[in-house]
Structure 1
Amino acid sequence: MKLLLAGLALALSGAPIAAVAACRVALALGLDVSGSVDGREYRLQMDGLAAALLRPEVRSALLAMPEDPVELMVFEWSGPGDQRVVQPWQSVTGAAAIDAIAGRLQATMRGPGDPSTALGAAMRAGAAQLSSRSHCARKVLDISGDGPSNTGPLPQAIRDSAVLSDVTVNGLVIADAGTVAGMHGAADQASLDGYFQAYVIRGPGAFTEAAAGFDDYEDAMVRKLIRELQGLVLSQAERPQRSRRPSQPIGQ
């Protein structure tokens, strides 16, 4: 009511009223480029995200509400002080915007960085990016990772802090069905998924999506984006959320 009265007063005074940009969701995507990710896997991840954005089903979901668009940004992360924005915030208002984002990702080359895995620091960096999107109805942070955190603040400490109080955090777990090598030993896909479930994801409808190695990254990203953009919330009867804490947490 206060906002309505303020707007009416401005209209009656003849002062111009600034338009408020609509945004149905702000989506920040954090890509793991730590030392466990080699050059080939880096390209599979960056090009896989670009290809996922260009897939017809994702493009349709992105552009489903042109009057209430998605805002998207992409950053890569590794050590505690190594987070690099590769795609600044962009309002996805048409096919040209999607094409431009995909082209930028495809042209991005890997930069220098600490090889360690600072998952908590990555979450904090994503939260800082999302803090500027107060005009968006929802804020979502996507964190891709192929192993547990081994340096920097604990992921669960950042997850439970005020910086993510209005943010949903989803995870894309990259691990072969067998084992994934990490600085805290080997963990199978189920254990790494359990780690993300226990220590990383948060918020209404938060979930993890699994990629069977980096070769499956594009398809896994498509599944995750479709689920996020369509606002799909599955009941436990339809798909168990596996929100239990792992019996033997890895990396903590």
Structure 2
Amino acid sequence: MRWYVSIGAVLVAGMLAGGDVAALAAPASGQQSGGEMAEKESTPSVDVELIIAVDVSYSMDMDELAVQREGYAQAIVSKEFLQALKAGPNGKISVTYFEWAASSDQKMIIPWRVIDGPESADAVSAEIMKTPVRRASRTSISGAIYYAIPLFDENPHRGLRRVIDISGDGPNNNGTPITPARDAALEKGIVINGLPIMVKEPSYSTMDIENLDWYYEDCVIGGPGSFVVAIKDREKFKEAIRTKLLLEVAGRTPEHPVIRVADKEPRVSCTIGEKIWQDRWGR
């Protein structure tokens, strides 16, 4: 089941700060527990293995890239995030952060790190901010997903959940089509959540499309409880990032979903980005 939520539709931060963290973070009945694992070394030691995959394509301007970077850095050290973290069964998560553009262009910014409190959160936040902001050509969401999948096998810490948090401001236009990449992740039990960035008017020159949130809902995200948080207001950029991370750490979908996404034909073609590129460049 997949859900869509706009940033204005959920006040997660307020709920967490108000003392409802334990209720949000409590795993649903029926989830596998460490005691059910066959081997001791497979027992989850963190609540979630979270991969943050960040778009740095040329369609993102330098201001957006800087705000996006700051948004993740500030969210990780926020009071609400740390409260959600400590309310989990293990009280810690494992996180890695990379930037992506073309199918062959992924840059690891932070290898796997455990966040278990303010000190480790501060260290990860500082590490995010110290790397210079960059831009690169093309947009390959599929390449980012294929890059992310084997990273889970490299993580020494097993989690109750495995999540790819992927942001972007346009459709896939490079590499393999998006749906096979999404399905490859889902087959391994990985959840993909989306952060479509829609703060500019769609422009042919920047490969933007209308209804990017629909594209992310129907073509990119997937897995139990997967959701989209769309950014449609530049001033809400950082708030949206924090909201999304809080939901992922707590293992929850938005409390007030706007649209329930049915498993039917996509409302936006999942190959629209490739078609626009072909029409424009002929290759």
TM-score tier, shorter chain, comes to: 0.7 to 0.9
Give the whole-Å Cα distance in 1 for the aligned partners of 2:233 and 2:257.
25
Aligned to 1:10: none
Equivalences for residues 1-252 of structure 1 within 5 A? 22-65=45-88, 67-111=90-134, 113=136, 115-133=137-155, 135-161=158-184, 165-176=188-199, 179-181=201-203, 185-188=207-210, 191-233=211-253, 239-243=258-262, 245-249=265-269, 250-252=272-274
SS in 2 for 1:137: strand
Q: Which runs of 4+ in 1 moved over 4 A?
A: 1-4, 18-21, 182-186, 243-246
Give ranges in structure 1 of 5+ residues lacking alignment: 8-17
Q: Secondary structure at the match of 1:88?
A: strand
Q: What SS does the corresponding residue of 1:219 show, helix, strand or coil?
A: helix
Higher helix share: 2
Deviation at 1:216, TM superposition (A): 2.5
* Partner SS state of residue 46, structure 2: coil
Aligned pair in 2 of structure 1 residues 108, 56: CA closer, same or farther (>3 Å)? same
1:80/1:151 contact within 8 Å kept: yes
Please tell me whether the aligned partners of residues 51 and 96 of structure 2 are also in contact (alpha carbons under 8 angstroms).
yes
- 99-108 vs 126-135, which deviates more? 126-135
Q: Give me the whole-angstrom Cα distance separating, in 1, the residues matched to 2:257 and 2:232.
A: 22
Specify the alignment match of 2:16 in structure 1.
none
Higher relative contact order (CA 8 A, sep 6+): 2
TM-score by length of 2: 0.74
Residue identity in the other structure for 1:27: L
Q: C-alpha deviations, 1:164-214, integer Å up to 9, x for none?
A: 5210000001003x62336685423xx101111111101000111011255
Q: Which has the larger radius of gyration?
A: 1
CA contact (8 A) 1:22 1:68 kept: no
Find the aligned partners of 1:150 and 1:3 in 2 and give their Cα distance: 41
Does the CA-based 8 Å contact 1:150-1:184 persist in structure 2?
A: no
Question: In structure 1, what residue type is equivalent to 2:171?
Answer: P
Secondary structure at 1:47's aligned position in 2? helix
CA distance in 2 between partners of 1:219 and 1:107 (Å): 21
Distance in 1 separating the partners of 2:36 and 2:234: 51
RMSD: 2.9
Structure 1 residue 36 displacement after superposition: 0.7
- Counterpart residue type for residue 79 of structure 1: A
- Note the C-alpha offset of 1:156: 0.6
Q: For residues 205 and 66 of structure 1, what CA distance do their matches in structure 2 show?
A: 19
Query: TM-score w.r.t. structure 1 length?
Result: 0.82
CA distance change for structure 1 residues 117 and 182 in 2, over 3 Å: closer, same or farther? farther
Q: 1:166 to 1:248 in 2, by over 3 A?
A: closer
Q: How many residue pairs get matched? A: 236
C-alpha contact (below 8 Å) 1:30/1:141 kept by paired residues: yes
The aligned amino acid for 1:179 is E
